[in-house]
């Protein structure tokens, strides 16, 4: 049988191929968030990355209905508090390309002046009724706006007075009849006969009333400029406007439940029957013989049988549905995109599970997204048909429904004469536009003026505010970096010990404190997987997890093994853990079933003990639990199986680990990257990081981004193990990288949530180094205490008066607290990424807002191979983190996933709001609430020429920079000169100031402050230190 939709095209195959192509194209609009257990930060608007940032956010608003920038009043608050200065607004307006700031608007000044006035003082807008009230009842026509400058106000009153006295009073004015009549009315109102005795206040009121009249009269009859509303596409929108019934509510309800069941990775105990046969097949199987009670669904079984009878595939169902709904090919893409975005979290997850999750327990088969659309369109048709019929009885074919409803659709709200007049009226008061001048303007000039005002729309204003806001922070940052760079002093002495951290901005404060405590130490940073891209399995882990950036697919496998002497106890403990695990799993599932649950519940009173203890004494409870846990943990001495015997890597015995040459390459590469190729200390710590917290479905978002949302401890340990291997050192030496024999590498793991540090393989520490290790460890301990202390200033529930010890206890409690929704603030407030030698930033207070990447420009080659390698990783990763925070902050419920409080873990894949909702992607508000949305500023210690070369060879990097997704500046390796990248080229940056506050220590600078802090230079840190400096305590 030839179906009716096919009759429109002779051959259906190109049509279906086209549809498939369209859907695949549209799938890029879906959020690309992977299952929440491996949270990886990425640019929320990745789909629009080929456009400029400004176009992309506009597109994003149109596509997702989300905010592009903060609301206007938030920027105005910043203006009031000095986070934006008037000169920033001015600069942002003047530097805005293509906007012709110098354009004259009649004789009223330039576009720039008009816009600046609109930005500096909020214009009051409101519905007609409110305006009428303002005019008639409030003192809008009696007193000038508070914002009006006094001189402008006096000048206006004076001039008007002179004009009235000279020209108008005796009717001798220029011939305009209307103005004379208006003046006559006003004279009547104010008592024109006593005009000579009018008080100042009367003149003020008179001026304003004349002004109001002039404005009102002027804008009268000026045509509208507002863009028409975007046309409605979906039947659902038409129905919603016409009847108030939202069919999406019904359709989504069915689909949410079904998608969750289809994708479930292990919450439900009964899985969806025949889910292995695909989305549509299981949807049909489930509903084919159902007898729905809901009226709108009653046609579903029949429809399914009909479609199965014809033998349609998913694409054919989509094509037929579009035909039945009357969607022609021109609007097909728009329609399908609405269908996909109606539940964009779930659709995005279907797409992720289909294309990008072969590692998952239950990945989705190919074609899932297309099948979802088919199912959605079937439901859509049923719902529209039913609810339209319920509203209007017989409705005819669905394909005509939209054209019949189009007439009754709402129009864009009208801008009334009052509203426009009031805008001009307010602006005239701040800009000093005289009634005498205004009344002479022609209709054409009025029209220009109104268009000029209206074209500077709210979205444009917010964009300019945003640019000004970014400018303020950027200038402060660049000033501080330039000023500080002047003080930098290269050292030639060998440091007492060296620490290699992740580039993560959370380690900035840790390094700063460490350098303050132990002035003779040196710190470096490199992406926190330390070049070791691996699948890793710990001694107590069930599975291999990838520990490397998401873009890398690891080839190597590393396992942790308990040393042979503990083998027996290890086996015993594993068995015990397994038994305990089984028991608790049984308890977990049993308590949810009937009779087993009853038995559990009868003993459930015991649960009150952990409940009360956990909630009221989280830290103590955690300690007790850990004490018990230590009896079943793997024994303390373990090794990483690092060296491979098989030629090819694999996950089985001989394939585990790296070959010697591979280790040498990794070690060489990382050491070159960070510029640590000489002057090795006797102790080198390699510190990975991660985070552990409870009550946090987004736990992995706090882990190391360079480890793909994993914990970087094992990477640090593996890297240290590689460098501890003498054969690796020999080969390195042959390549010209000599590491002294007495240098010892120690792997460590920094938990950024509870600020603990764990050292690996200390059993191998030679006794010659024990004492030094103890001293270094004391410094590290003090540094983490102070780090906790600095972090605590951001937590409102932590007293500002806390001591570092109390702060450490506080953050330890946070990590173990079931009720804590802010275990840490993660990457919030990130704003800068510095790529260069630490000595340029050492001792600069960067407020945990700066990613620090070690790079030594003096050791790079002509081609800047090292810098290229670094930037290829650092720019996309940091930009991804920064932009995800940006978008989740500017629209916390649209781009972000809203508040954590009602979050409900679903299918082990993500979170919903409450009982049933779209799957929420993005970051929760509690993670971003202290963030400041600015695009990340890269400051790179190199020359503009070098950067241009790198851009030429790496179009992807260049795209991010050229399209303004990130900001970029270079700092000269030999001087504090800064070049800023703007509009496609580098221009020298002229510092606003060379002053930089100097304080004795970090704590002196941040103590007592909760809010963002400016930059400061920490005295002493950069002074070359004398003999062995003793650390505090």
Partner 1 sequence: MNVDTLYSVLGLGTVAFPALLLSVMGLTSLLGWPLGERTTARATQGAVIGGLLTAIAILAMMLASGTRYVPIELGNWEIAPTEHFHFHLKFVFDRLSVPFTILSFVLVGTIGAFANRYLHREPGYRRFFLLYDVFLLGMIVASLAGTIETLFLGWELVGLSSALLVAYFHERPAPVINGQRVWSVYRVADAAFLIAAVTLHHLTGEGNFAGLMDKGFWPEGVAELSSREALFVGLLLLVAAAGKSALIPFSGWLPRAMEGPTPSSAVFYGALSVHLGTFLLLRVSPLLDLSSLLSAAVVILGLASAVLAAMAARVQTDVKSALAFASLTQVGIITAEIGFGLRYIALLHIIGHACLRTLQLVRAPTLLHDYHSLENALGEHLPQQQAGFWERWVPDGVRLRYYRLALERGYLDAAINEYVVRPFVALFHWCDALERKWTDVLSGTPSRESDHVPPTMPIGEELT
In terms of Cβ atoms closer than 10 Å to its own Cβ (0-12, 13-18, 19+), residue 356 is middle
Residue 58 as a binder of partner 1 (CB under 8 A): the answer is yes
Buried b (16+ CB within 10 A) or exposed e, 554-575: bebbbbbbbeeebeeebeebee
| Residue 690 β-bridge partners | 751
Q: Considering only residues 68-107, where is the footprint of partner 1 by CB under 8 A?
A: 68, 71
Does residue 2 bind partner 1 (CB under 8 A)?
Answer: no
Q: Is residue 902 close enough to count as binding partner 1 by CB under 8 A?
A: yes
Cα–Cα distance measured from residue 153 to residue 157, given in angstroms and rounded to the nearest whole number: 6
Give the other-Cβ count within 10 Å of 877's Cβ: 22
574 interacts with partner 1 by CB under 8 A: yes
Instruction: Name which position in 17, 184, 489, 612 contacts partner 1 (CB under 8 A).
Output: 612
**Which position among 104, 310, 493, 601 is part of the footprint of partner 1 (CB under 8 A)?**
601
3-state secondary structure 52-84: CHHHHHHHHHHHHCCCCCCCHHHHHHHHHCCCC
Task: Tell whether residue 597 is a contact of partner 1 (CB under 8 A).
Answer: yes
Q: Please report, as residue ranges, which positions from 135 to 194 form the binding site for partner 1 (by CB under 8 A).
A: none
Q: How far is the CB of 899 from partner 1 (least distance, A)?
A: 7
Q: What is the smallest separation between the CB atom of 540 and partner 1, expressed in angstroms?
A: 6
Q: What is the rounded CA–CA span in Å between residue 281 and residue 1010?
A: 56
Residue 939, CA atoms < 13 Å, CB-side half-sphere: 29
With binding defined as CB under 8 A, does residue 817 bind partner 1? yes
Residue among 7, 87, 155, 290 that touches partner 1 (CB under 8 A): 290
Residue 230 engages partner 1 in binding (rule: CB under 8 A): no
Pick out residues in 239-278 that bind partner 1 (CB under 8 A): 241-242, 249, 257, 260-261, 264, 266-273
Q: Are 704 and 690 in contact (CB under 8 A)?
A: yes
Complex with partner 1: residue 475 or 693, whichever CB lies closer: 693
Q: Is 592 in the site for partner 1 (CB under 8 A)?
A: yes
- Choices 422-430, 497-505, 880-888, 895-903 (CB under 8 A): range interacting with partner 1: 895-903
915 binds partner 1 (CB under 8 A): yes
Angle, vertex CA 277, rays to CA 272 and CA 283, nearest 5: 55
Residue 60 or 804 having the CB closest to partner 1: 60
Residues paired with residue 687 on neighbouring β-strands, in sequence order: 748
Instruction: Write the burial class of residue 496 (CB in 10 Å: 0-12 exposed, 13-18 middle, 19+ buried).
Output: buried
- Residues 329-348 touching partner 1, rule: CB under 8 A, are none
Helices (H), 492-637: 506-517, 567-590, 595-602, 608-616, 618-629
Residues 926-955 that bind partner 1 (CB under 8 A): 929
CB of 584 to partner 1, least distance (A): 7
* CB closer to partner 1, 644 vs 698: 698
Question: 767 — phi, psi (to 5°)?
Answer: -65, -25
Any idea what the Cα angle at residue 992 is, between residues 831 and 477, rounded to 5°? 15
CB of 242 to partner 1, least distance (A): 7
In the complex, least distance from residue 697 CB atom to partner 1, rounded to whole angstroms:
6
Q: At what angle do helices 608-616 and 618-629 cross, to 10 degrees?
A: 120
Q: Under the criterion CB under 8 A, does residue 620 sit at the interface with partner 1?
A: no
Give 287 or 347: the residue with its C-beta nearer to partner 1: 287
Alpha-carbon span 882 to 378, nearest angstrom: 40
293 makes contact with partner 1 (CB under 8 A): yes
3-state secondary structure 790-827: HHHCCCCCCCCCCCHHHHHHHHHHHHHCCCCCCCCCCC
State which residue, 8 or 819, has the beta carbon closest to partner 1. Answer: 819
- Mask: binding to partner 1, 655-694, rule CB under 8 A, as x and -? ---------------------------------------x
Classify each residue of 909-923 as buried b or exposed e, where b means 16 or more C-beta atoms within 10 Å of its C-beta. Answer: bbbbbeeebbbbbbb
CB of 552 to partner 1, least distance (A): 23
**Residue 607 backbone phi and psi in degrees, to 5:** -65, -20
Judged by CB under 8 A, which of 17, 80, 865, 901 binds partner 1? Answer: 901
Distance of CA 662 to the CA centre of its chain: 36
Nearest CB to partner 1, comparing residues 242 and 669: 242
Residue selected from 247, 523, 696, 829 as contacting partner 1 according to rule CB under 8 A = 696
- Cβ nearer to partner 1, comparing 197 with 269: 269
3-state class (DSSP) for residue 970: strand
Spatial CA neighbour of 470 closest among 858, 966, 10 = 966
- Using CB under 8 A as the binding rule, the residues of this chain from 505 to 564 that contact partner 1 are 540-543
Tokens 């103890």 sit at which residue?
774
Stretch that binds partner 1, among 372-380, 429-437, 573-581, 963-971 (CB under 8 A): 573-581
Which residues 11-40 are close enough to bind partner 1 by CB under 8 A?
Answer: 36-37
| The one among 399, 419, 872, 899 contacting partner 1 by CB under 8 A | 899
Binders of partner 1 among residues 458 to 477 (CB under 8 A) are: 458-459
Residue closer to partner 1 (CB basis): 356 or 695: 695
Beta-carbon contacts of 278 under 8 Å, excluding residues fewer than 6 positions away, are 365, 367, 368, 371
- Region of 194-202, 443-451, 897-905, 1000-1008 interacting with partner 1 (CB under 8 A): 897-905
Whichever of 330 and 603 has its CB closer to partner 1, that residue is 603
Any contact of residue 631 with partner 1 (CB under 8 A)?
no
Q: How far apart are CA 462 and CA 465, in angstroms?
A: 5
Binds partner 1 (CB under 8 A): choice among 677, 904, 954, 963: 904
Closest by Cα among 207, 761, 141 to 434: 207
Contact string (CB under 8 A) for partner 1, positions 786-815, x = contact:
----------xx------------------
Q: Where are the beta strands (DSSP E) in 370-516?
A: 497-501
Q: Residue 821 or residue 1021: which is nearer to partner 1 going by CB?
A: 821
Among 98, 171, 393, 408, binds partner 1 (CB under 8 A): 408
| Residue 288 per-residue DSSP state | H
> Where does this chain touch partner 1 (CB under 8 A) — which range of 196-204, 575-583, 671-679, 989-997?
575-583
Binding region for partner 1 (CB under 8 A) out of 155-163, 452-460, 841-849, 854-862? 452-460
Is residue 822 a contact residue for partner 1 (CB under 8 A)? yes
- Closer by beta carbon to partner 1, 621 or else 1001: 621
* 603 part of the interface to partner 1, by CB under 8 A: yes
Per rule CB under 8 A, is residue 389 in the interface with partner 1? no
CB 874 within 8 A of CB 833: yes
Q: Which residue number, 659 or 899, has a Cβ lying nearer to partner 1?
A: 899
**CA distance linking residue 568 with residue 456, whole number of Å:** 75
Q: Which of 490, 594, 984, 1008 binds partner 1 (CB under 8 A)?
A: 594
Among 21, 103, 224, 588, binds partner 1 (CB under 8 A): 588
Among 32, 34, 66, 370, binds partner 1 (CB under 8 A): 66
Which one of residues 475, 882, 906, 942 is an interface residue with partner 1 (CB under 8 A)? 906
Q: Are 535 and 546 in contact (CB under 8 A)?
A: yes
Question: In a 10 Å sphere around its CB, with 0-12 CB exposed, 13-18 middle and 19+ buried, how is residue 590 labelled?
Answer: middle
Residue 199 CB, shortest distance to partner 1, in Å, is 39
Helix or strand (DSSP H, E) at 967? strand 967-971
In the structure encoding, which two tokens stand for residue 114, read together? 């008009």
């Amino acid at each position: 049988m030839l179906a009716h939709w096919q009759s429109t095209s002779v051959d259906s195959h190109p049509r279906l191929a086209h549809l498939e192509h369209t859907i695949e194209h549209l799938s890029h609009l879906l959020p690309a968030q992977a299952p929440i257990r491996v949270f990886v930060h990425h640019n929320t608007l990745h789909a629009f990355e080929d456009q400029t940032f400004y176009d992309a956010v506009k597109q994003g608003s149109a596509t997702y209905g989300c905010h592009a920038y903060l609301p206007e009043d938030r920027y105005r608050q910043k203006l009031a508090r000095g986070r934006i200065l008037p000169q920033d607004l001015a600069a942002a307006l003047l530097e805005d390309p293509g906007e012709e700031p110098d354009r004259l608007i009649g004789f009223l000044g330039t576009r720039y002046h008009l816009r600046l006035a609109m930005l500096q003082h909020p214009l009051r807008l409101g519905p007609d009724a409110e305006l009428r009230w303002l005019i008639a009842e409030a003192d809008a026509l009696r007193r000038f706006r508070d914002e009006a400058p006094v001189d402008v106000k006096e000048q206006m009153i004076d001039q008007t007075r002179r004009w009235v006295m000279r020209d108008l009073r005796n009717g001798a004015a220029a011939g305009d009849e209307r103005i004379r009549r208006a003046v006559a009315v006003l004279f009547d109102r104010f008592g024109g006969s006593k005009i000579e005795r009018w008080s100042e206040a009367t003149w003020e009121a008179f001026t304003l009333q004349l002004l109001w009249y002039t404005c009102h009269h002027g804008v009268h009859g000026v045509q509208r400029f507002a863009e028409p509303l975007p046309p409605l596409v979906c039947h659902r929108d038409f129905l919603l406007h016409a009847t108030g019934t939202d069919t999406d509510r019904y359709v989504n309800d069915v689909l949410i439940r079904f998608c969750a069941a289809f994708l479930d990775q292990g919450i439900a105990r009964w899985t969806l029957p025949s889910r292995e046969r695909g989305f549509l097949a299981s949807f049909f199987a489930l509903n084919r013989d159902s007898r729905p009670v809901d009226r709108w669904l009653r046609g579903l079984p029949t429809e399914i049988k009909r479609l199965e009878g014809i033998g349609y595939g998913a694409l054919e169902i989509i094509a037929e549905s579009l035909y039945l709904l009357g969607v022609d090919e021109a609007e097909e893409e728009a329609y399908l995109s609405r269908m996909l975005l109606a539940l964009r979290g779930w659709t995005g997850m279907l797409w992720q599970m289909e294309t990008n999750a072969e590692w998952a327990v239950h990945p989705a088969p190919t074609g899932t997204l297309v099948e979802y659309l088919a199912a959605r369109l079937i439901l859509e048709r049923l719902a529209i048909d039913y609810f339209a019929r319920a509203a209007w009885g017989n409705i005819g074919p669905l394909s005509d429904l939209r054209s019949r409803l189009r007439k009754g659709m709402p129009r864009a709200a009208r801008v009334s004469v009052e509203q426009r007049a009031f805008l001009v009226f307010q602006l005239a008061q701040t800009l000093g536009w005289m009634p005498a001048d205004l009344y002479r303007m022609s209709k054409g000039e009025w029209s220009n003026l109104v268009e000029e005002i209206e074209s500077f729309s709210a979205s444009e204003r917010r964009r300019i505010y945003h640019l000004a806001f970014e400018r303020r922070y950027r200038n402060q940052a660049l000033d501080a970096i330039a000023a500080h760079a002047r003080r930098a002093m290269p050292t030639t002495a060998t440091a007492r010990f060296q620490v290699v951290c992740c580039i993560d901005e959370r380690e900035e404060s840790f390094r700063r404190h460490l350098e303050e405590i132990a002035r003779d130490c040196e710190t470096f940073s490199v992406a926190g997987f330390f070049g070791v891209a691996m699948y890793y399995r710990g001694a107590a882990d069930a599975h291999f997890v990838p520990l490397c950036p998401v873009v890398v697919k690891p080839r190597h496998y590393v396992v942790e093994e308990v040393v042979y002497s503990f083998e027996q106890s290890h086996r015993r403990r594993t068995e015990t853990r397994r038994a305990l695990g089984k028991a608790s799993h049984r308890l977990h599932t049993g308590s949810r079933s009937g009779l087993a649950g009853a038995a559990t519940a009868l003993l459930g009173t015991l649960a009150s003990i952990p409940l009360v203890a956990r909630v009221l004494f989280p830290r103590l409870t955690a300690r007790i639990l850990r004490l018990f846990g230590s009896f079943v943990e793997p024994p303390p001495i373990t090794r990483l199986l690092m060296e491979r015997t098989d030629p090819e890597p694999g996950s089985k015995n001989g394939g585990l680990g790296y070959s010697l040459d591979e280790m040498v390459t990794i070690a060489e590469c990382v050491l070159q990257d960070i510029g640590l190729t000489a002057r090795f200390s006797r102790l080198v710590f390699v510190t990975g990081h991660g985070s552990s917290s409870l009550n946090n479905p987004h736990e992995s978002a706090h882990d190391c981004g360079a480890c793909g949302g994993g914990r970087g401890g094992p990477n640090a340990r593996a890297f240290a193990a590689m460098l501890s291997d003498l054969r690796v050192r020999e080969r390195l030496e042959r390549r010209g990288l000599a590491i002294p024999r007495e240098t010892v590498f120690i792997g460590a793991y920094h938990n950024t949530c509870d600020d603990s540090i764990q050292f690996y393989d200390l059993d191998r520490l030679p006794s010659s180094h024990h004492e030094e290790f103890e001293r270094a460890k004391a410094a590290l301990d003090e540094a983490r205490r102070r780090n906790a202390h600095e972090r605590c200033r951001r937590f409102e529930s932590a007293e500002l008066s806390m001591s570092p010890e109390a702060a450490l206890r506080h953050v330890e409690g946070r990590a173990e607290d079931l009720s804590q929704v802010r275990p840490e603030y993660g990457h919030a407030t990130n704003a800068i990424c510095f790529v260069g030698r630490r000595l340029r930033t050492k001792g600069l207070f960067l407020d945990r807002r700066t990613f620090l990447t070690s790079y030594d420009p003096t050791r790079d080659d002509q081609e800047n191979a090292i810098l290229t390698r670094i930037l290829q990783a650092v720019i996309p990763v940091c930009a991804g983190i920064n932009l995800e925070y940006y978008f989740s902050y500017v629209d916390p419920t649209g781009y972000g996933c809203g508040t954590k409080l009602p979050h409900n873990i679903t299918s082990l894949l993500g979170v919903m709001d409450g009982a049933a909702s779209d799957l929420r992607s993005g970051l929760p508000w509690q993670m971003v609430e202290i963030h400041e949305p600015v695009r990340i500023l890269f400051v790179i210690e190199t020359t503009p020429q070098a950067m241009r070369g790198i851009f030429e060879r790496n179009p992807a990097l260049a795209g991010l920079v050229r399209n303004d997704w990130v900001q970029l500046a270079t700092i000269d390796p030999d001087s504090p000169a800064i070049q800023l990248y703007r509009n496609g080229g580098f221009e020298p940056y002229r510092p606003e100031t060379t002053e930089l506050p100097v304080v004795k220590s970090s704590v002196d600078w941040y103590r007592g402050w909760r809010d963002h802090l400016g930059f400061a230079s920490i005295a002493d840190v950069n002074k070359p230190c004398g003999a062995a400096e003793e650390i505090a305590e």
